[in-house]
Amino acid sequence: MSDLKPDELDNLPAYVKNLGEITHLVKYASKRFKDAKSQVNYLNFEWYIHAMRLVLSHCIFESFITQTIDVICKVKPNVINTLEGFKTAQIDGIDESQLQKYITKVHKKIGGKSIHGRLKFLRENCQLQAILDNKRKEMILFLEQIRHIIVHQSGIIDKQFFDRLRDTRFNEKFIEQKVGEQIKIDKLIIDAQCHIYSMFIVELFIEICQKYLGIKI
């Protein structure tokens, strides 16, 4: 991105230009420097490069999932009524601004801050088959938890990190790290993330085109 000219930046998608997650990461790392310098090597630039790549990739992935839900709700508004608490919503015939208010409520209902709730909605309410792979879901949850501790804790593992992954294969024994250590991030994890997210997005996009947009790919 550093090679782009100023006028070219205006043509980038909004979610690429809005790097709030990365900005927060840098500010938080600076704030925690004095308190955690005995635990974390802040001169480990390779770790931070990998960390920022992981956070940015997850941010773009989340943006795609959010936009996917928006598209489905706009193309087939009655999907909204499949959610508990929305069954009596008067969807048919409402204008776009009113529909957008319902969609905003949908995001709040399914858990706007977690990818898990949104994937569950796409699987159970939208009947999308691309969401059914349990190993893929576990890997996405694992990557989301890594992103969480990078942004909020400079990558330091806490008890909640393992608690959230307790029912997955990514437990403490698998990761081979302990509470208080900085999560290890290397090129292998980044490559795995790129592969899983790319394959998932392509499969999901094809299924949505065929199921909801009537486009055969």
Tens-digit pLDDT profile for residues 62-114: 889 988 999 898 888 888 888 777 765 566 667 788 888 888 888 888 876 67
Range of 44-58, 81-95, 116-130 with top mean pLDDT: 44-58
Q: Is residue 1 part of a domain?
A: no
In the 8-state DSSP scheme, what is residue 177? -
Give the mean pLDDT of 171-178: 84
Instruction: Give the per-residue pLDDT at 118.
Output: 86
Give the mean pLDDT of 122-129: 87
Q: Is residue 154 part of a domain?
A: yes
> Does 145 have pLDDT greater than 50?
yes
User: pLDDT higher for 68 or 37?
Assistant: 68
Categorize the per-residue pLDDT at 52 as very low, low, confident or very high, splitting at 50, 70 and 90.
very high
Tally of structural domains, the chain = 1
In the 8-state DSSP scheme, what is residue 183? P
Q: Is residue 107 part of a domain?
A: yes
Query: Among 22, 6, 25, which residue's Cα sits nearest to residue 155?
Result: 25
Categorize the per-residue pLDDT at 29 as very low, low, confident or very high, splitting at 50, 70 and 90.
low
In the 8-state DSSP scheme, what is residue 205? H
Per the CB < 8 A criterion, the answer to whether 175 and 145 are in contact is no
Q: Is residue 195 part of a domain?
A: yes
Q: Is residue 10 part of a domain?
A: no
Average pLDDT, the chain: 79
Q: Is residue 217 part of a domain?
A: no
Instruction: Give the per-residue pLDDT at 42.
Output: 52
Q: Is residue 163 part of a domain?
A: yes
Give the domain extent around 94.
Answer: 19-211
Buried b (16+ CB within 10 A) or exposed e, 191-213: eebeebbeebbebbeebbeebbe
Q: Is residue 14 part of a domain?
A: no
In the 8-state DSSP scheme, what is residue 25? H
Instruction: Give the per-residue pLDDT at 28.
Output: 56
Give the mean pLDDT of 41-59: 84
Instruction: Give the per-residue pLDDT at 113.
Output: 60
Distance CA 176, CA 189 (A): 15
Instruction: Give the per-residue pLDDT at 9.
Output: 42
Instruction: Give the per-residue pLDDT at 112.
Output: 64
> Does 192 have pLDDT greater than 70?
yes
Give the mean pLDDT of 189-216: 89
Per the CB < 8 A criterion, the answer to whether 179 and 162 are in contact is yes
> Does 179 have pLDDT greater than 90?
yes
* Amino acid identity at 199: M
